[in-house]
Structure 1
């Protein structure tokens, strides 16, 4: 089996780009979205929201390429599961990213209208604010579930194929289960971000491994 070192390095780089973009999107939007006067805060920080949306899209595009690139390699282990990985991580996950990005842009639109109509009854704006925020949180929870299912498919394939060390793919699979549980709980209540850290750390370790070591030859 060919080592596919260049492919592995590119996949590792995409993981790093996607992760950094995701972190930057949170840095630009996180504190704004936690504001108690959301529409007013958004209206004075519109550029931050727009930048956050841009980084969300960069993250989505980067991570969407990963399953497309890996598919020809992992399909030799299980073609159905490899195709499922492409569907979940390449299509469904990016649909949730796009939906969340749109919700942020809608927030910008309503914040502008809020500023123009500040002298009017703000009840309707409060209702719209609640709807947008709640919808965004639900979209993020769904995205977490979709991401986790795709990750579990990938790490099972990597574990079976031994393209990376079993300790690394096993770490990803266990962390993926925790990540999935976090997303499911997030559909009904608050999300415990700390439970996402094991998988986030694993992906960065795997990214560096792929860049340096590449995929392992078949055993």
Structure 2
């Protein structure tokens, strides 16, 4: 009867282990999809928004407002998927370091909030162009100045949001992934190596000292890190790690009561 009790007590733990492993794989898949959606939304958004960003007189000239609106929609998607990736990973990476994991969620939320401020400023340009530009008594020069000011707001949000916070995110999540070995260490290493350089370039740009070419070079390691971790989590999931094993209750700590 005692051996029967031990067998019965062991069976639920096996089922629990399978459920937990399935849940961990699902977490990696969801987080990876969010990361890839961030790329899929942010890159086309830059192309779609180029008319309003690169033409100072866009607010009083001919242009495609629909194109700009779609670019704004993609920026909103970028903001939301950034938060989604952090929230999806939090239950797993908090087991490595709770404070750093919480910091990663906070940094993603801050990045999203700054991105949305930039979106609102561009939507204001579109609204002024449609409702004010061309109406009697409107001064085109004044309206152009207002439009340039709103675009300048968006430029600063881009520097402080996707640029600055991308480096902060790489340091926070990269350190968690490197220590936990949830993915091959070469992947977070790219982010950890590139983040300080990216921070330096962002700081130089803040004071007007960085060239555009330097930005293009500095962004490569961080972009490679984010894209690689997204692809790995979608295709492979998490590697076996102590923090994923810790999610399964230990058999050693479970008392077995023999049945007479």
Structure 1 length-normalised TM? 0.89
Alignment-derived partner of residue 40 in structure 2: 20
In structure 1, which of residues 64, 67, 84 is the aligned counterpart of residue 83 of structure 2? Answer: 64
Gaps of 5+ in 1: none
In structure 2, which of residues 144, 147, 156 is the aligned counterpart of residue 126 of structure 1? Answer: 144
Larger mean Cα displacement after TM superposition, 104-113 or 180-189? 180-189
Provide the aligned C-alpha RMSD in A.
2.1
SS class of match (1:116)? coil
Gaps of 5+ in 2: 1-16, 243-260
What whole-Å deviation, never above 9, does each CA across 1:178-201 have from its counterpart, x for those lacking one? Answer: 332233233222663412122112
- Alpha-carbon offset, residue 138 of structure 1: 1.0
More helix by share: 1
In structure 1, which of residues 166, 176, 184 is the aligned counterpart of residue 185 of structure 2? Answer: 166
2:163 equivalent to 1:140: no
Alignment of 1:1-219 (within 5 A): 4-41=24-61, 44-89=63-108, 91-117=109-135, 120-143=138-161, 144-189=163-208, 192=212, 193-194=215-216, 195-218=218-241
Alpha-carbon distance between aligned partners in 1 of 2:136 and 2:192, rounded to the nearest angstrom: 50
Are the counterparts in 2 of residues 40 and 114 from structure 1 also a CA contact under 8 Å?
A: no
Structure 1 segments of 4+ aligned residues over 4 angstroms from their partners? none
SS class of match (2:133)? helix
Bigger CA radius of gyration = 2
Alpha-carbon distance between aligned partners in 1 of 2:116 and 2:83, rounded to the nearest angstrom: 12
Aligned length: 217
Are the counterparts in 1 of residues 80 and 112 from structure 2 also a CA contact under 8 Å?
A: yes
Alpha-carbon distance between aligned partners in 2 of 1:83 and 1:123, rounded to the nearest angstrom: 47
SS class of match (1:84)? helix
Alpha-carbon distance between aligned partners in 1 of 2:158 and 2:232, rounded to the nearest angstrom: 28
